[in-house]
Amino acid sequence: MSTPVVGVIMGSDSDWPTLEAAGQALDEFEVPYEVGVYSAHRTPQRMLDYAREAAGRGIRVIIAGAGGAAHLPGMVASATPLPVIGVPVPLKHLDGLDSLLSIVQMPAGVPVATVSVGGARNAGLLAVRMLAAADDDLRERMTAFQADLEQLVLDKDAALQQ
């Protein structure tokens, strides 16, 4: 197994059905990642320890998903120099708007790259792009992925014309 370079963390194991799509995107690009539950409210010290130690262990990007009063991405960003991508997890009430607003409106100086509500796949793809900025091979594969995406749309359009 290669050393993980992306951390996919979440506030509860109940977030995993949403966060799983980030892992799938990373799998498609063969980017090694680790997964863990770190609650900002239930395990604050464990969360801070993770954030402070991640860079030293070789993690390069953190994807953090949480729902409701979703403080995990912002608190992790406050304790690591690594880029943090926040995934608002939709819960039963409020359709994830509470999660989105809890993550997106960070104070100046502590950025979190927030994706759409439930947008874990894009979080995974954004992590790949961040890593690809300093990795020619990964950048080539991202370019090929984008070409495939374009071809998919062209094929669908062609099918409509028949």
The site for ligand RP5 (CB under 6 A) is made up of: 10-12, 14-15, 39, 66-68, 89, 91
Q: Which of 43, 79, 82, 40 is nearest to 63 (CA)?
A: 82
The residue assigned the tokens 């109940």 is: 14
The residue (of 92 and 156) whose beta carbon lies closer to ligand RP5 is: 92
Q: Which residue has its beta carbon closest to ligand RP5?
A: 11
Tell me the CA end-to-end span of the chain in Å, nearest whole number. 47
The reply, when asked if residue 15 is annotated as ligand binding, is yes
The reply, when asked if residue 141 is annotated as ligand binding, is no
The residue (of 39 and 122) whose beta carbon lies closer to ligand RP5 is: 39
The residue (of 80 and 99) whose beta carbon lies closer to ligand RP5 is: 99
CB 94, min distance to ligand RP5, A: 12
User: Who contacts 32 (Cβ-Cβ below 8 Å, separation ≥6)?
Assistant: 1, 2, 3, 4, 5, 6, 26
The reply, when asked if residue 12 is annotated as ligand binding, is yes
Amino acid at 58: G
Annotated binding-site members for substrate: 12, 15, 42
